[in-house]
Chains A and B, each alone.
Chain A
């Protein structure tokens, strides 16, 4: 079955530690995205990538980093510089960029204490 996988579903970390969230898709989509969602809020764009080896900052990129070495994979690292990292993180992909339908993974709920 085609889709997007994110792992793990729940992640707990201590303050000051970097943590990497995984996102893999087998939909053959060119574009991939990372969003952050806080309770009762909409989705805010962290980073997006249109093609391999290229990515752009979204609206809240500070404290985050990404890589896109393979078309299928777009991991997100939450660094210790991110002041409020506890949130629900969603990865998405699409064929024609934001004009088209975005397919979302199940999300990773990160808790930092």
Chain B
């Protein structure tokens, strides 16, 4: 089968750095995406990694290791507004995207 594993919850304090990991097992792999979703809202795209390495976009960075079927999202200088659910998603080929179950991030003051 095809599966993505990510922690269900992570808690961190304001101003800190947090890393959300994602491991995947899929029949094909074209890239790993990350989405943020606030309660009751729509997911919004954060990043996409097709090749190994680190991609940085402001306070957010995303890493991919294709050989390890592993990636992570790194959030720096955490703010209260970063409290949300974060989903990793894999494109196994074609037009489908497979989403993980999501990691709920709680940012404490």
Cβ–Cβ contact B102 & A98, under 8 A: no
A56 interface hit (Cβ, 8 Å): yes
B61 interface hit (Cβ, 8 Å): no
A41 to B37, CA, bound (A): 12
Question: Contact residue range for chain A?
Answer: 20 to 34
A58 interface hit (Cβ, 8 Å): yes
- Assuming the contacts A56-B95, A97-B95, A99-B91, asked whether A42 and B31 have C-beta atoms less than 8 A apart, the reply is no
Could you tell me which residues of chain A, from 15 to 52, have a CB within 8 Å of some CB in chain B?
31, 33, 35, 40-45, 48, 50
Known pairs A41-B101, A101-B48; list 15 more (Cβ under 8 Å): A33-B97, A40-B102, A41-B102, A42-B87, A42-B100, A56-B95, A90-B42, A90-B43, A97-B95, A98-B30, A99-B30, A102-B35, A106-B42, A107-B40, A107-B41
Which chain A residues have a beta carbon within 8 Å of chain B's beta carbons?
Answer: 31, 33, 35, 40-45, 48, 50, 56, 58, 90, 97-107
Cβ contacts under 8 Å, B33 to chain A: 101-102
- Assuming the contacts A41-B102, A42-B87, A43-B87, asked whether A98 and B43 have C-beta atoms less than 8 A apart, the reply is no
Q: Which 4 A-B pairs have the closest CB atoms?
A: A104-B42, A97-B95, A42-B99, A98-B97
Cβ–Cβ contact B95 & A106, under 8 A: no
User: 27 interchain pairs (CB within 8 A)?
Assistant: A33-B97, A40-B101, A40-B102, A41-B102, A42-B4, A42-B87, A42-B100, A42-B101, A43-B43, A43-B87, A44-B99, A45-B96, A56-B95, A90-B42, A90-B43, A98-B97, A99-B91, A101-B33, A101-B45, A102-B33, A102-B35, A103-B45, A104-B43, A104-B44, A105-B42, A106-B42, A107-B41
